[in-house]
Chains A and B, each alone.
Chain A
Amino acid sequence: MTVHTNNDSIINVVAELTQSTAQSSVDDYGMLNFVVSTDHVVAVCQQLRDNHGFIFLTDLCGAHYPERKDSEFEVVYHLHNLVSNHRIRIRVYLSEESISIPTMVNVYPGANWMERETFDFYGIIFEGHPNLKRILNMDEMDYHPLRKQYALEDETRDDKNNTFFGR
């Protein structure tokens, strides 16, 4: 097993796996970011886990950017190489029309509930998930509450005026 300690070698590995369709960047805080397509994400994670030491799925969550056309949703994976102590972030963009992505449960069993949570709050479908149902919200709920169109406060209230306060 090769243990990669610098960003370049991980970038090469991912580029090879995705036939160079992945975009990589290092953010201001030193974290290596990848944007991977839905077709490649499982293969990339599988390879990174099996051959490059990223055995630990730190976190998996969704996010919603309604103003971004054709990539309104994203799923964010944080992987951690516990040997070289390297963290990377992999994100997958999804459009609102085809909001599904292959499940990561077969690579990281711990992704099970994290994917259920992401489904629960964003309605992102994880294909092949063994038990994709709501986890924190009640089963009868008919919407996905962390989407940005659902305002936290009742918008019909008229006793508050935010004209001068709040951005």
Chain B
Amino acid sequence: MSEITFNKQGQMVSRDTIDGDIATLNLGPTHPATHGIFQNVLKVDGERIIEAEQTVGYIHRAFEKLAERRPFNQITPITDRLNYCSSPINNIGWHLTVEKLAGIEVPKKVDYMRVIIMELARIADHLVCNSVIGVDTGALTGFTYMFQEREKIYELFEEVCGARLTTNIGRIGGFERDFSPVFSAKLNKFLEEFIKNFDEFDKLLTRNRIFMDRVIGAGPISPERALAYSFAGPNLRAAGVDYDVRVMNPYCSYEDFDFIVPIGKDGDTYDRYVVRQEEIRQSVSIIKQALAKMPSGLHHADVPDFYMPPKEEVYRSMESLIYHFKIVMGETAIPKGEVYFAVEGGNGELGYYLVSDGGRTPYRLHFRRPCFIYYQAYPEMIKNSVLSDAILTMSSMNVIAGELDA
């Protein structure tokens, strides 16, 4: 690394630079290497980054304002569009928030079903991130294979809720229907085949000399700085802090499952990659445990105020018709109060701060979006690194534009 000094005008220059000029480079907003709409204004000296500033907000859709006009059940589709690589976690996180506000207890079976769906979503999310790190280092092959696996996960979601990417999965109080036999068959087949294919991907990259040389030391962050920046999720764990919402504040009966929280050491791209790889394996293990221990019972809570009655009942019985009407029109009574509820999203603590004044819509809803919070550390992490490392750092942080801009 070249030493940085200052010239007479007070500008930072490196001794390598022939004329001491610093160039300004716009990385983005639409650049194929940034996987989304991000603009970074970089001050570069040759290929070394001296300074960076991000511009965010290109796909801001005013979700918090929209949410103030929508009944609680209509906010679920909004949450789809936060981290769209793992929509089910966002959906279920929102359901759990409303259930906490309204004091709804769900059956154990719902918890286990949710855990299966959320862990599938986590696998899909981490697969995208890790295979794309491979792409950014020039290893396209692993990506094509892992996207096939992700496709299978989307087929599973499709089997449960009919949608693939923006899932709108589940309802407040549970699921709209029980897992079908087709889903179970597909899931078992997936679990059988996935680890085999995933191991292949793992072998391709994890101990690959070229890959390791490329990513070790790229974009590191110390645990102190990571905590100061309120990092969460795999990025914080890669820096060596074992904070996982699933363990710290278990929701959805996560305390019933035996899994480890992998941590890294240096907080660099390689550690982030390895932590995600291990989390995928842990998620598979959690799904297997949940399937093995799946309790019997109903797939939804008995909360007619929030959970839609079966359609044939609506045509037959007066109560069902009334509840159906109330839910669709958003006329359900909800307590006044404030809740903060967090789930472990694909990128870390995904929080919902919900203020209800007892009306049909939230009075205030704020999403704690992990991407938005940790992306601000990006300039610090790429300072003095080369441009190609900056690309790797961004993809390994898994910055998702939808979650960033809300």
B353 surroundings in chain A (CB, below 8 A)? 59, 61, 76, 78
Residues in A75-89 with C-beta less than 8 Å from chain B: 76, 78, 82, 85, 87, 89
A153 surroundings in chain B (CB, below 8 A)? 69
The size class of the interface chain A forms with chain B is: 35 or more
Residue among A27, A85, A109 making CB contact with B228, cutoff 8 Å: A109
Q: Do A136 and B405 form a contact, CB below 8 Å, given A58-B342, A78-B340, A87-B340?
A: yes
B227 and A166 form a contact (CB under 8 A)? no
B17 to chain A, nearest CB (A): 27
- Alpha-carbon gap, A101 to B57, bound state (A): 24
Q: Do A55 and B406 form a contact, CB below 8 Å, given A28-B337, A63-B355, A152-B66?
A: no
A166 and B330 form a contact (CB under 8 A)? yes
Q: Do A31 and B340 form a contact, CB below 8 Å, given A61-B353, A121-B64, A135-B56?
A: yes
B229 and A58 form a contact (CB under 8 A)? no
A152 and B69 form a contact (CB under 8 A)? yes
- Alpha-carbon gap, A79 to B209, bound state (A): 42
Question: Closest residue to B351 on the A side, CB-wise?
Answer: A59
Is B5 at the interface (CB under 8 A from chain A)?
no
B340 surroundings in chain A (CB, below 8 A)? 31, 58-59, 78, 87, 89
Q: Do A136 and B57 form a contact, CB below 8 Å, given A109-B228, A110-B230, A121-B64?
A: yes
Is A57 at the interface (CB under 8 A from chain B)?
yes
How does the 8 Å CB contact mask read for B140-172 relative to A, with 1 for contact and 0 for none? 000000000000000000000000000000000
Q: Do A145 and B227 form a contact, CB below 8 Å, given A78-B340, A136-B406?
A: no
B381 to chain A, nearest CB (A): 13
Q: For A31, A89, A152, which residue has the most chain B Cβ atoms within 10 angstroms?
A: A152
- Alpha-carbon gap, A158 to B223, bound state (A): 56
B241 surroundings in chain A (CB, below 8 A)? 82
B65 and A56 form a contact (CB under 8 A)? no
Residue among A63, A78, A89, A117 making CB contact with B364, cutoff 8 Å: A63
Q: Do A85 and B60 form a contact, CB below 8 Å, given A59-B368, A110-B230?
A: no
- Alpha-carbon gap, A150 to B363, bound state (A): 14
Question: Closest residue to A150 on the B side, CB-wise?
Answer: B65
- Alpha-carbon gap, A133 to B51, bound state (A): 19
- Alpha-carbon gap, A28 to B336, bound state (A): 10
B230 surroundings in chain A (CB, below 8 A)? 56-58, 108, 110
- Alpha-carbon gap, A133 to B342, bound state (A): 28
B68 surroundings in chain A (CB, below 8 A)? 152
Q: Do A167 and B359 form a contact, CB below 8 Å, given A59-B351, A59-B353, A59-B368?
A: yes
B69 surroundings in chain A (CB, below 8 A)? 152-153
- Alpha-carbon gap, A85 to B247, bound state (A): 11
Residues in A134-167 with C-beta less than 8 Å from chain B: 134-138, 145-146, 150, 152-153, 165-167
B362 to chain A, nearest CB (A): 11
- Alpha-carbon gap, A14 to B375, bound state (A): 32
Is A114 at the interface (CB under 8 A from chain B)?
yes
A112 surroundings in chain B (CB, below 8 A)? 376
B373 to chain A, nearest CB (A): 6
Q: For B228, B249, B355, B374, which residue has the most chain A Cβ atoms within 10 angstroms?
A: B228
Is B248 at the interface (CB under 8 A from chain A)?
yes
A48 to chain B, nearest CB (A): 14
Residues in B381-405 with C-beta less than 8 Å from chain A: 405
A57 to chain B, nearest CB (A): 5
B368 and A145 form a contact (CB under 8 A)? no
B57 and A82 form a contact (CB under 8 A)? no
A1 to chain B, nearest CB (A): 14
A167 and B360 form a contact (CB under 8 A)? yes
B364 surroundings in chain A (CB, below 8 A)? 63-64
B65 and A108 form a contact (CB under 8 A)? no
B403 to chain A, nearest CB (A): 12
A55 surroundings in chain B (CB, below 8 A)? 227-228
Is B338 at the interface (CB under 8 A from chain A)?
yes
A31 surroundings in chain B (CB, below 8 A)? 338-340
Residues in B298-330 with C-beta less than 8 Å from chain A: 329-330
Residue among A82, A138, A145, A167 making CB contact with B65, cutoff 8 Å: A145
Q: A residues engaging B (CB < 8 A)?
A: 27-29, 31, 55-59, 61, 63-64, 76, 78, 82, 85, 87, 89, 108-110, 112-114, 117, 121, 134-138, 145-146, 150, 152-153, 165-167
Q: Given known contacts A63-B355, A78-B368, what 7 new A-B pairs fall within 8 Å (CB)?
A: A59-B368, A63-B363, A108-B230, A109-B225, A113-B376, A136-B57, A152-B68
Q: B residues engaging A (CB < 8 A)?
A: 56-57, 60, 62, 64-66, 68-69, 100, 225, 227-231, 241, 243, 248-249, 329-331, 335, 337-340, 342, 349, 351, 353, 355, 359-360, 363-364, 366, 368, 372-377, 405-406
Which 5 interchain pairs have the tightest Cβ spacing? A110-B230, A136-B57, A61-B366, A110-B229, A136-B60
